[in-house]
Amino acid sequence: MNGRETPSKRFVIRGGRVIDPARNFDRTEDIGVDGDRISAASESDAAPAAGEIDARGLIVCPGLIDMHVHLREPGAEHKETIETGTGAAVAGGFTAVACMPNTKPAIDNIATLQHVIERARQIGVCRVHPIGAITVNRQGTEVVDMTALKQHGAVAFSDDGDGVENDSVMREAFARARERDAAIIQHCEYKAISAGGVMHKGRVSDALGLPGLDPRSEEDMIERDIALVRETGARYHVAHISTARAVELVRRAKADGLPVTTEVCPHHLLLTDDACSEQDPNTKMHPPLRTAEDVAACRRGFLDGTIDCIATDHAPHTAEEKARGFLKAPPGIVGLETALALTCEALSEDGSIDWCGLIRSMTVAPASVLGVTTPSLTPTAPADITLIDPRKSWRIAPETFHGKTRNTPFGGRDVVGRAVATIVGGRLRHQLADEAHRFERLSPIN
Ligand code: DOR
Ligand code: ZN
């Protein structure tokens, strides 16, 4: 370093329980940060004026990744922007998000893709990995130029919000994705089967007299897609899985050695269609809340490794939009700021949690599907770090969310587990106000 350069920031995260799934590491250790990289704690320690974060009692892990987020920019900035969405992400402990292309215009072209990447870079709160559309304008008829989109930074392809229904279009999409080693992330829903449905089709929808979404609309598309994966060898990821049979289809595909992965949302691990009884539009989402058997199957699928990832499907809609009533409100709920605690609740068995498994599903597993750098806390890795208090009790208060909207069915719920700090590229992007004492010895440069 010559005299004109500012000294790089260095600090040590001291005394935390370090969980690093990439190397099956779980023990108390100090972690060093030097500039935007992880360093050996001993080196950062020795440096003059190194700062310190007191992580005693906390879990220190690679930054969480949410691979299914709707940032709404461009085109629906009244719901969310890249700035507010990434702010919500770091508040929830995420250092990276993959954003869905159902924007206006859709991310089916280089200009829109570059706009998202450039805005995210300017804002610089967390990493943003854009997902390109599978088909032009998400219309399901013409496959996008995957080569160009991938070259310019699209990490995977999805028409999320809609499934690609036409078999030959889907076959073509798989073939092209296979050539580029990009994953297809499918929103599995045949609209011909689900059309008009506003909640899960079953006992509760019958009792309420509301049009139901048949679970076959999800399962039949997964079945069709797995057959195409067998033919093409493409990497296939089922978005927001929600039914018992869907989990079983993925389990069998994996047993057959096919490159199939899936994710589940915290709400599908916690709530059933009974939650729709009051017709609260904040219980309306696609896929819908299903039955107790489906919830149990999703939990089992997670615990036996069939389900690889936790993802939120963070889908902001304004209070005005949700006020249209259950039939007319747009589907979707926000998730970035509640995912960690809700996942803890869903996966704790007799009060204990497999933290290494949980963190793997929110770091290494989504990174592997997206084909981005493997998150790790080894020296020279990017300093993307999340500090979690596994015992922190708190009440979900939507009015305090950093995102623009409040559409969650979990407001007022008492939960346990929270991100105390989120570090992105060596910079502290979130710190929990009532844990300020832990950061007293951190220099202001951070
Ligand atoms: O509930 C949902 N909302 N499911 C989707 O697949 C899309 C999302 C949205 O964009 O609002
Ligand atoms: Zn979807």
CATH of 63-370, one of 3.10.180.10, 3.20.20.140, 3.40.50.1360, 3.10.450.50: 3.20.20.140
Q: Closest Cα to atom 9, ligand 1: which residue?
A: 315
Q: Is residue 1 pLDDT above 50, yes or no?
A: no
- pLDDT bracket for residue 44 (50, 70, 90): low
Per the CB < 8 A criterion, the answer to whether 416 and 344 are in contact is: yes
Rounded mean pLDDT of 185-200?
95
CA dist., res. 295 & res. 289, Å (int): 9
Alpha carbons within 13 angstroms on the beta-carbon side of residue 23 total: 12
Q: Where in the chain are the domains?
A: 10-60+381-439, 63-370
Q: Is residue 13 pLDDT above 50, yes or no?
A: yes
Q: Which of 286, 322, 326 to mutate to test the pocket of ligand 1 (most atoms within 8 A of CB)?
A: 286
CA dist., res. 182 & res. 236, Å (int): 9
Ligand 1 centroid vs 360 CA: distance in angstroms?
A: 25
Nearest ligand, CA of residue 186? 2
The pLDDT value recorded for residue 5 is: 43
Q: Which CATH architecture has domain 10-60+381-439?
A: Roll (2.30)
**pLDDT > 90 fraction of the chain, expressed in percent and rounded:** 93
Angular region, 406: left φ>0, alpha ψ -120 to 50, beta rest: alpha
Ligand 1 centroid vs 386 CA: distance in angstroms?
A: 27
Tell me the sheet residues that pair with 34: 10, 37
Ligand 2 centroid vs 446 CA: distance in angstroms?
A: 37
Rounded mean pLDDT of 76-104?
98
181 part of the active site: no
- pLDDT bracket for residue 6 (50, 70, 90): very low
CA dist., res. 294 & res. 349, Å (int): 18
- pLDDT bracket for residue 243 (50, 70, 90): very high
CA dist., res. 7 & res. 237, Å (int): 43
Q: Which of 67, 131, 160 to mutate to test the pocket of ligand 1 (most atoms within 8 A of CB)?
A: 160
Q: Closest Cα to atom 3, ligand 1: which residue?
A: 332
In tens, the pLDDT along 145-189 reads 999 999 999 999 999 999 999 999 999 999 999 999 999 999 999
Full 3-state SS string of the chain: CCCCCCCCCEEEEEEEEEEEHHHCEEEEEEEEEECCEEECHHHHHHCCCCEEEECCCCEEEECEEEEEECCCCCCCCCCCCHHHHHHHHHHCCEEEEEECCCCCCCCCCHHHHHHHHHHHHHHCCCEEEECECCEHHHCCCCECCHHHHHHCCCCEECCCCCCCCCHHHHHHHHHHHHHCCCEEEECCCCHHHHCCCCEECCHHHHHHCCCEECCHHHHHHHHHHHHHHHHHCCCEEECCCCCHHHHHHHHHHHHCCCCEEEEECHHHHHCCHHHHCCCCHHHCCCCCCCCHHHHHHHHHHHHCCCCCEECCCECCCCHHHHCCCCCCCCCCCCCCCCHHHHHHHHHCECCECCHHHHHHHCCHHHHHHHCCCCCCCCCCCECCEEEEEEEEEEECCHHHCCCCCCCCCCCCCEEEEEEEEEEECCEEEEECHHHHHHHCCCCCCC
The pLDDT value recorded for residue 232 is: 98
Note every long-range contact of 207-210, with CB atoms under 8 Å and residues 24 or more positions apart, other chains counting: 208/276, 208/277, 208/279, 210/276, 210/279, 210/326, 210/327
Whole-number mean pLDDT of the chain?
A: 96
Find the largest Cα–Cα distance for the chain. 74
- Cα angle, residue 143 at apex, residues 133 and 163 outer, rounded to 5°: 55
Rounded mean pLDDT of 68-75?
98
Instruction: Give, to the nearest 10 degrees, the angle between helix 244-255 and helix 292-303.
Output: 30
CA dist., res. 405 & res. 204, Å (int): 28
The pLDDT value recorded for residue 8 is: 55
In tens, the pLDDT along 266-278 reads 999 999 999 999 9
The pLDDT value recorded for residue 222 is: 99
- pLDDT bracket for residue 45 (50, 70, 90): low
Ligand 1 centroid vs 340 CA: distance in angstroms?
A: 20
Q: Which of 313, 350, 354, 414 is catalytic?
A: 313
Q: Closest Cα to atom 4, ligand 1: which residue?
A: 286
In tens, the pLDDT along 255-306 reads 999 999 999 999 999 999 999 999 999 999 999 999 999 999 999 999 999 9
In tens, the pLDDT along 398-411 reads 999 999 999 999 99
Ligand 2 centroid vs 158 CA: distance in angstroms?
A: 9
Could you give the strand order of the β-sheet that contains 260-264, starting from the edge strand earlier in sequence? 156-157, 183-186, 236-238, 260-264, 309-310
- pLDDT bracket for residue 2 (50, 70, 90): very low
Nearest ligand, CA of residue 288? 1
Angular region, 180: left φ>0, alpha ψ -120 to 50, beta rest: alpha
Phi, psi of 10, deg, nearest 5? -130, 140
Residue among 267, 362, 429, 308 nearest 59 (CA): 362
The pLDDT value recorded for residue 446 is: 59
In tens, the pLDDT along 323-362 reads 999 999 999 999 999 999 999 999 997 779 999 999 999 9
Rounded mean pLDDT of 434-446?
85
Ligand 1 neighbours, Cβ below 6 Å, are: 70, 102, 160-161, 187, 285-286, 313, 315, 330-332
Of ligand 1's atoms, which has the minimum distance to the CA of residue 162? 6
Of ligand 1's atoms, which has the minimum distance to the CA of residue 316? 11
The pLDDT value recorded for residue 4 is: 43
CA dist., res. 69 & res. 59, Å (int): 24
